[in-house]
A and B are shown apart, each in its own frame.
Chain A
Amino acid sequence: MNRNSNVYTVIYATVLTVLVAIMLTVAALGLAPQQKANSDNEKKQQILSSISSVLGKDVTFENAADIWSELDMDNNMCVVNTKGEELKGIDAFEIVAKQQFKAGVVKDEATLPLFKAIVNGKTYYIMALYGAGLWDAVWGYLSVESDCSTIAGASFDHASETAGLGAKIKDDPSFAASFIGKHVFQGENFAPVQVLKQGKSAANGADQVDAITGATKTSDCVSIIINNSLTGYKAYLLALRNTPCESAQAAECAACDSTQIVEPVNKAE
């Protein structure tokens, strides 16, 4: 057969393409469950990393699933909107943070995931952060204690910040750790912690953590991301702060039950 004829070339290309397509489809479908499990596990690791100091141990890719089920996180998450209401019928874990933001600001109709971890009888609220870094997306999780203001920890990840500089938001554990003990509210004012160069101070009296040396832009972005992301949770956090836990929709809010004893103590502070 003439290998250079048009007919041969077209048939050859068609057969090859179909064969390759079938092979790849089978592979993709076959491996999909395992891949989904991996990315779910990574998400659990990131969420739990924001309370790693409370847990007293590092959350790794390997132990994330165990800690997750230990804390019964599957039954301790809810979805809130920007008006501060809890929403029904949405799986908080499956929410894609990216879709809730437009141009770095929380959409009005956004549905935001809120994870409640109960460790040693204390409740920690874990909120999702998302926004633009210097080069690409930066996201993470921030946890607050039951007073809805004191930060218990944070975890960050990024798509492509500069290795050794901006990438330190993830690679240098001391950066995330520096958020511990800072506040989201100053008195009654919403003033989330800011990331600032040493020597500078926030105009609105917010707490501050030191920016990463040589990564001023990424640090600024983290500051903006925290402010913008928490703005979406602001109404919910305020409602939670101003509602004595007993009268809160305790049935709805599984986490409240176990905090009834702890909550008044924190309120008194």
Chain B
Amino acid sequence: MKNLAASPGTFGRFGGSFVPETLVYALRELAEAYDASRADADFQRELDALLRDYVGRPTPLYYARRLSAHLGGGRIYLKREDLAHTGAHKINNAVGQVLLAVRMGKRRIIAETGAGQHGVATATACALLGVECHVYMGAEDIRRQHMNALRMDLLGAEVVSVESGSRTLKDAINEAIRDWVTNVETTHYVIGSVVGPHPYPTMVRDFQAVIGRETRRQILEQAGRLPDMVIACVGGGSNAIGMFHEFVADPDVKLIGVEGGGCGLESGKHAATLVGGSPGVLHGTRSYLLQDEDGQILETHSVSAGLDYPGVGPEHAFLKDSGRAAYTLAEDSEALEALKLLCRLEGIIPALESAHAVAEAIKRAPQMPEDGVLVVNLSGRGDKDLEIVEGLV
């Protein structure tokens, strides 16, 4: 019998591939195609050209002078993923996966989306590459992020409203998996985060790792040294792992992930999976989960639809247990305050997701010396959140 530890796609005791038999072959085929694409210079050239000319990479690293001065302490740099095409880091992965799907001969694309950023990014990549696109989105999220549903529609994608369960991201993933089980022979499932069965956590990380690679080069140019700390929000964890991956081997760079704290850990109304959860298996991977004592998955709450997920990428679970990264949370109110502060001081409206990372920077920067360097991954822009913010601020 095979040793479980030797299974592909594991991160310590996390990760793996816990899927219905119908999908096993498709996942193996995907892992092989992905490996082949990494070794294919033509594929990499095509991807790099799209990231440069279409997505707009490299995105800037911006020294937030007024925010830093306001807080006192360390210098805060913002990695401006909000300036990428479609307004968030999600496009890095969507372009990569849709390009891979076309290479595999799959002409039908499905995706799930929470805040709608991944759905928009996938719909965009599908329009660009001329393939059919269906996006599963929880009915509650369609209500919260109506503008993104509209954008997907304009881009030619079909938005499928998911009415089951809590009608948010978790349920959209369930429905996308059910579609994939049914149409697996013609369809590629573009998962939007570093979750799901192997090879997704690895593949999505690799497509997002461009964030950290650029950041290293840019911070060396601008600050002359590596940052003391990088901070990113964590829902499934793709922008965070995209930032962290480049720095994991640099022990002096602290890695901080910030989860959706909702109304606070004690309230039970939150999405802080790593801070408040326990290990289990959901959506094909072993990781931390928010679950009850019977292993039923709990409903989560966050003001940010993109963080409103009861699971988290298995590599984050591994980084937490190994102590290499630290995970904390920002409550809804803290994220909203951070959003307002960044608007007023820097003229940047962050996504509510990214505002969680800014909230942590607001706590950390004053504790740092003046020559301290802190990088926040500003994973997306906040235009999509204006209606929510209007109701709460």
Q: Do A and B come from one complex?
A: no
